[in-house]
Amino acid sequence: MITIKEITSKGDLTTFVKFPFEVYKNSPYYVPPIIKEELDVLNPKKNPVFQNSEAKFFLAYKNNKVVGRVAAIINWIEVKEQKKSKIRFGWYDVIDDIDVTKALLDKVAMYGAENGLEYMEGPAGFSIMDKAGILIKGFEELNTMITWYNYPYYQKHMEQLGFEKAATWVEYRIQVPKKIKEKVIKFSNIIKERYELNLIKFNNSKEILGYADEMFDLLNKTYSGLQTFVPIQQYQIDMYKKKYLPYINPQYITCIADKTGKLIAFSIVMPSFSKALKKMNGKMYPLGFLHILKAQRKNNTAAFYLIGIDPEYQNKGVTALIFKEMNEVFLRNGIEVVETNPELEENKAIQALWNDYDHEQHKMRRTYRKSIEN
């Protein structure tokens, strides 16, 4: 018999966060999150996203053992302002038992029905800054710091329960050229002169902080037309600055401004933390942080985390400037391979950026949706 329990205590929430460690304990590809950070994300007192969202967290038990988990999330900006009658589900992990998945998602549907919502969709977090999608390709690849890992049966469970495809993301592995191509150098110089653009370089985190709000403003402009978009609120931006800034090496950020000093494009790349997080196994202390420090200093792999371009400058070759600068950084730091963040399948403009490089699409993930019977 399967029993579903709604989380009501700090201890239950810890069990919720630690459950995937058990599911994937034998997987060489699962990269665990930092437990404390996960607890903070799911804590209404510590995550400002709860100012515009609400959530319930459920654990599934079978024979007195935890066999699954799921979060049911309502983003009220999405529901009220964007008129999407949707409840999200995320932090979804289960053993290979279709009845467990059904029991958990029935709870999500029930919560959605109680709030008059018409359909559920996921897995996804609270906003575009959170993880999203079930992995459907790339099961023998380490997940990155900003993605979930899962086994192949997750997709089968969704399809067996009548869920339909909602959105698909693709990810690429790019080989860093040993030498910057002459045509890239020439073209980037032409674009820089034609639009009177200036590169902004940083020496420390404090300097980055002065441009952080403009970066998030560009993110909102860049992705506003995509189906999964929900505007990032200022209180969320403040949290992200505090949460991620310590991890960022200033030289891995490229910012471009117009002749008035207005930011028109940026990219954030970080050394890959996947192997470091794997070794940490969810714990920053007492010694886990040393793996992060080592990954920051010595690494041959990097991850493209964010890129934003003002719509006025999209399709004008500005990305050539970004890639030229990043290529120089990679060569200086011994980076040989770059992984992209998940890109929506229909976002052809972003995917076209990799055409001039040796690349492969090595991962794919998908969200699913299903109507709620009220």
| pLDDT tens digits along 276-301 | 999 999 998 888 889 988 888 889 99
Verify that 95 and 215 share a domain, yes or no.
no
Instruction: Report yes or no on 358 lying in a domain.
Output: no
pLDDT single digits (tens) 191-246: 899 999 999 988 887 888 888 888 888 888 877 666 667 777 888 878 777 777 76
Q: Which amino acid, one-letter code, is at 226? A: L
On whether residue 243 sits in a domain, the answer given is yes
User: Is the same domain home to 266 and 196?
Assistant: yes
Q: Residue 262 maps to which CATH number? A: 3.40.630.30
Q: Within a domain: residue 350? A: no
Closest among 79, 77, 75 to 54, alpha carbons compared:
75
pLDDT at 205: 78
Residues 327 and 218 in one domain: yes
One domain for residues 158 and 305: no
Residue 113 sits in the same domain as residue 193: no
Segment 5-52, tens digit of pLDDT = 999 999 999 999 999 999 999 999 999 999 999 999 999 999 999 999
Residues 202, 149 within the same domain: no
Report yes or no on 303 lying in a domain: yes
In a domain, 88, yes or no: yes
Tell whether 314 is covered by a domain. Answer: yes
Average pLDDT score over the chain: 90
Which ranges constitute the DSSP H helices of the chain?
A: 10-23, 35-41, 76, 98-114, 153-160, 182-194, 205-209, 212-223, 234-244, 274-280, 288-297, 318-333, 348-351
Same domain? 92 vs 153: yes
Residue 361, domain member (yes or no): no
Residue 255 resides in a domain: yes
What does DSSP assign to residue 342? P
Neighbours of 20 (CB within 10 A): 22
Q: Are both 24 and 123 inside the same structural domain?
A: yes
Name the residue among 98, 168, 89 with its Cα closest to residue 121: 89
**212, 331: one domain:** yes
In this structure, the answer to whether residues 213 and 303 fall within a common structural domain is: yes
If you write DSSP's letter for every residue of 271-325 in order, what string do you get? Answer: E--HHHHHHHTT--TTTHHHHHHHHHHS-SEEEEEEEEE-GGGTTTTHHHHHHHH
CA angle 193, 195, 198 (to 5 degrees): 70
Domain that holds residue 131: 2-171+367-371
Both 221 and 244 in one domain: the answer is yes
Degrees (nearest 5) of the Cα angle 167, 168, 171?
145
Total count of domains within the chain: 2
Q: Are residues 162 and 191 in the same domain?
A: no
For tokens 């041959």, the residue is 300
Looking at the predicted structure, is the pLDDT value of residue 156 above 70?
yes
Q: Give the number of other Cβ atoms within 10 Å of residue 145's Cβ.
A: 19
Greatest extent of the chain over all pairs of C-alpha atoms, in Å: 69
